Amino acid sequence: MIHFKVFETMNEDLKKNLDNIKNDTSFSVFQLSEWINAVINNSSKSNKLKIVLMYNHDDIILVAPLQIKKVFGCKELCWVSSDIIDYNNVIISKLFNYENREFKKIWKKIISDLGNECDLVNLNKNPEFILSKINPLLNSKYRYYQKSYQLNLSKFDYENFYSSKNNSKTKQTDRRKKKKLDKGNDLVFSYEDINLSNFGLVEELIFEKMSSYLSKKEKSFNHKNIVNQYREIIRSNNSNYKFNLSILKKDNKKISSILGVIFNGIYYYLIPITHNTEYKKLSPGRFHISNLINWSIKNNIQSIDFTPGDETYKIRWSNNDFRMFYYIKPTSLKGIIRYIFLNFYYRLRKIYFLKKIYHYIQYEI
């Protein structure tokens, strides 16, 4: 018999339950307890945890890290998430039965019960797959709004891949730019595991990335909050994953940087930046990704996950993709206004030009 329990604090009982299943479950790096804790500890104290554990008799089969938070005065039921979380997932035990129809009814009741405490249900960043299996939450009420892109490195042939993705004009341009980049001092690629002793490199990278967004009036983030979350995750010193910072230098200048995290053979591509130097017009980030691919193969990484987004480079450097979904439902009159706003936002995300205009207007406001 399937039943569930809702935890409103990260107490010892909950931590014990999570520890008991973490080695026997399917999830992405973003659902590790260290990531969830970092988000919770750096969120508003007014947010109310609603972490759902679903059981089949005494066995935990699923964990859903949910919360209720206020957004513009509207109480929303949403995932425990932040700007550093690219996928919002449930954590699924290997004991979970994907064919069990009772699960759908129980999940519907969970969302209905918790939704009654809110003005709106807003579940975003839901991937089509959780690792290799279909996301069991998805149904016809979840709407597609963007894709996520990956590069599968199994039996990967770089030359064939590059040739298939680029026409003769692009190849010629790449050769010309690479020749200019190679002129003079050699390009230097470095890969460094990140810990607290060199965390300052990450802080510098995040600050420069956020400054770049602000200068273009594209997005605005809480820089200090993001830094604090990453610092807390890295401080936990979990050996199951490791952060890696790759830097491309020319004339001892940083011209491209990539922050990633490696977990279960997957390199999650988190924060890339092309530094503002005289070499920027030569597309150093493109050659940096090429080097990252070869480095990943040598280090037995199975795939590079470029995560969701409509950036051109993600499409060009991937050989696999899947869809991302959202679910929104108003549960009060107050929630209807927020629902209209969010529905408009998700529709704009499908059109890159309109999304840029939306972010510009939001920035100005």
Task: Tell me if 109 is assigned to some domain.
Answer: yes
Task: Tell me if 360 is assigned to some domain.
Answer: no
Same domain, 169 and 142: no
Beta bridge partners of 307: 149
Same domain, 87 and 109: yes
Beta bridge partners of 189: 248
Same domain, 234 and 123: no
* Domain containing residue 15: 2-146+324-352
Same domain, 288 and 246: yes
Same domain, 106 and 65: yes
Pairing of strands 91-93, 25-26: antiparallel
- Joined tokens for residue 230: 């990453």
Task: Tell me if 361 is assigned to some domain.
Answer: no
**To 5 degrees, how large is the angle CA 286–CA 243–CA 313?**
20
Query: Is the Cβ–Cβ distance between 255 and 284 less than 8 Å?
Result: yes
Quote the pLDDT of residue 216.
Answer: 66
- The Cα–Cα gap between 335 and 320 comes to 37
In 3D space, the residue among 88, 74, 108, 123 whose CA is nearest the CA of residue 329 turns out to be 123
- Joined tokens for residue 364: 């100005």
Task: Tell me if 200 is assigned to some domain.
Answer: yes
Same domain, 86 and 181: no
Digitized pLDDT (tens) for each residue of the chain, 365 residues in all: 899 999 998 777 777 777 667 666 667 899 988 999 999 999 998 999 999 999 998 889 999 999 999 998 999 999 999 999 999 999 998 888 888 889 999 999 999 999 999 999 999 999 999 878 899 999 999 999 999 999 999 999 999 999 999 999 999 999 999 999 999 878 999 999 999 999 999 999 999 998 887 776 666 678 899 999 999 999 998 888 999 999 999 999 999 999 999 999 999 999 999 999 999 999 999 999 999 999 999 999 999 999 999 899 999 999 999 999 999 999 999 999 999 989 888 877 666 555 555 554 444 44
Count CB-CB contacts under 10 A for residue 170.
Answer: 13
The CATH number of whichever domain residue 217 belongs to comes to: 3.40.630.30
Same domain, 133 and 191: no
Single-letter amino acid, residue 179: K
- The Cα–Cα gap between 345 and 333 comes to 19
Same domain, 235 and 173: yes
Same domain, 172 and 131: no
Task: Tell me if 306 is assigned to some domain.
Answer: no
The total domain count for the chain is 2
**CB half-sphere exposure, 335, CA atoms < 13 A:** 17
Same domain, 14 and 113: yes
Characterise 261 by phi-psi region: left (phi > 0), alpha (psi -120 to 50), beta (else).
Answer: beta
| pLDDT tens digits, one per residue of 185-206 | 789 999 999 999 999 999 999 9
- The Cα–Cα gap between 318 and 339 comes to 33
Same domain, 184 and 55: no
Query: Is the Cβ–Cβ distance between 269 and 304 less than 8 Å?
Result: yes
**To 5 degrees, how large is the angle CA 319–CA 35–CA 261?**
40
**CB half-sphere exposure, 276, CA atoms < 13 A:** 7
Q: Tell me, what DSSP letter sits at residue 184?
A: S
In 3D space, the residue among 226, 189, 176 whose CA is nearest the CA of residue 204 turns out to be 226
Same domain, 289 and 338: no
In 3D space, the residue among 293, 279, 354 whose CA is nearest the CA of residue 165 turns out to be 293
Task: Tell me if 271 is assigned to some domain.
Answer: yes
